[in-house]
Amino acid sequence: MRIVLLASLLAATSLAAPAFAQESADVRQTGEGQADAAPPAVAQAAEEGKARLSIGAGVAYFPDYEGSDEHTWSPIPAMQGTIGGMSITLLANRVSLDLIPNATGPGWDFQLGPVAVVNLNRSKLSAIEDPRIKALGEVDTALEVGGFVGIGRTGLITSDFDKLSVTLSYRHDVTGIHKAGVWTPAINYMTPLSTKTLVGLFATAEIVEDDYARTYFGVTPAGSAASGLPVFTPKGGQKNIAMGGMFTVALTGDLTKGLALVTGFNYSKLLGDFADSPLVSIAGSRHQWTGGAGLALTF
C-alpha cells in the first residue's frame, strides 16, 4: 500500500466531479455567450449544493509495496460531505477537512485545513509476495497528521467550469513508526466535456525526511542477513514524481447528482536513493503503475 494511492486520486476525482459541476451551477451562458443570472431551478440546485453528501467505492490495481514490481487488487472507499461551503473528504487512507468556505461559480478557491494519512506501506495489510521483502519484516501501520494549504481558480482556460488547483501539504508521523515528515506538492486540472463527462490531469511529488527513507527503503545488517539484499542506508529528499489522468461519466442524471463512473491511471517514478534501494533496484522497479475504477453516488 502506497502513501499516496491512485485509489485516493480516483476517489477524489469521482467525488470532485459532482462537486465541481455543482460549483458552477449558478452561472449559465445565454445564447450570446454572456453570463446571465441563473434560472430559479438552477439557483435552487446551487443552494442545495451547499449541503451535499457523496459516497464512492471501487477497486485499484497497485504495487504490493512502494517500489514493488508486483501488483495486487484492493477495494477503495471514498466519502465527501459539504456544508456551508466547507468540506470533509475521506479518500481511501486519507482524510482532510477544508475549513475555508467557498462561494459557488467562477472565481478563486482558497483551501486550508488538517489532513491525516494512514500509512500502510509494508504493513501486515500489504499483499507482499516477494520472499526477500517478507524476510525484512513488516512495518507497523503509521498515522501521519498535518495540514494543507491550496489555491484554485474556476473558470480559467476552456470555460467558466474548468478548474486549476495547486496544493501543498505536510504531515508527520505521530505514532513513532518512522518518526518523520512528508511534504506533498500537487497540481490538478479538471474540465467538463459536457453535463455528463469530466476529464482531469494531475501531477504530484513527495519529499520525505531521513527516518522515512530508512524505515521503508533501508536494509539493516540484520535485514540483509535475513533477506540476502545488501545493506543500504538511504537519505531523505524527493522520493518520487507522479502524474496521471482520469475520466468521469454520469450514469444517471448529470455531474451534479446521481451515479457516476470514474476510471483513471497513475505513473510514479522513484528517484535518488529511493530508486537505488535494493527493495527497488533488485527486488522491484522504480517505475510504478496504478490503475482503477469506481462508482460515486451524490445526494
Read off the pLDDT of residues 7-61 as tens digits, 9 standing for 90 and up.
444 444 444 444 444 444 443 343 443 333 333 333 444 444 457 788 888 888 9
The confidence score (pLDDT) of residue 18 equals 47
Asked if residues 20 and 198 have their Cβ atoms less than 8 Å apart, the reply is: yes
Residue 261 DSSP symbol: E
The confidence score (pLDDT) of residue 105 equals 72
Q: Which of 155, 175, 170, 54 minimizes the C-alpha distance to 105?
A: 155
Asked if residues 136 and 219 have their Cβ atoms less than 8 Å apart, the reply is: yes
Backbone angles phi, psi at 13, to 5 degrees: -75, -30
3-state secondary structure labels for all residues of the chain: CCCCCHHHHHHHHHHHHHHHHHHCCCEEECCCCCEEECCHHHHHHHHHCCEEEEEEEEEEEEECCCCECCEEEEEEEEEEEEECCEEEEEECCEEEEECCCCCCCCEEEEEEEEEEEEECCCCCCCCCCCHHHHHHCCCCCEEEEEEEEEEEEECCCCCCCCEEEEEEEEEEECCCCCCCEEEEEEEEEEEECCCCEEEEEEEEEEEECHHHHHHHHCECHHHHHHHCCCCECCCCEEEEEEEEEEEEEECCCECCEEEEEEEEEEEEEECHHHHHCHHHHCCECCEEEEEEEEEEEEC
Q: Give pTM, 2 decimals.
A: 0.84
Residues with pLDDT less than 50, the chain: 1-49
Domain boundaries, the chain: 72-294
The confidence score (pLDDT) of residue 201 equals 94
3-state secondary structure labels for all residues of 26-89: CEEECCCCCEEECCHHHHHHHHHCCEEEEEEEEEEEEECCCCECCEEEEEEEEEEEEECCEEEE
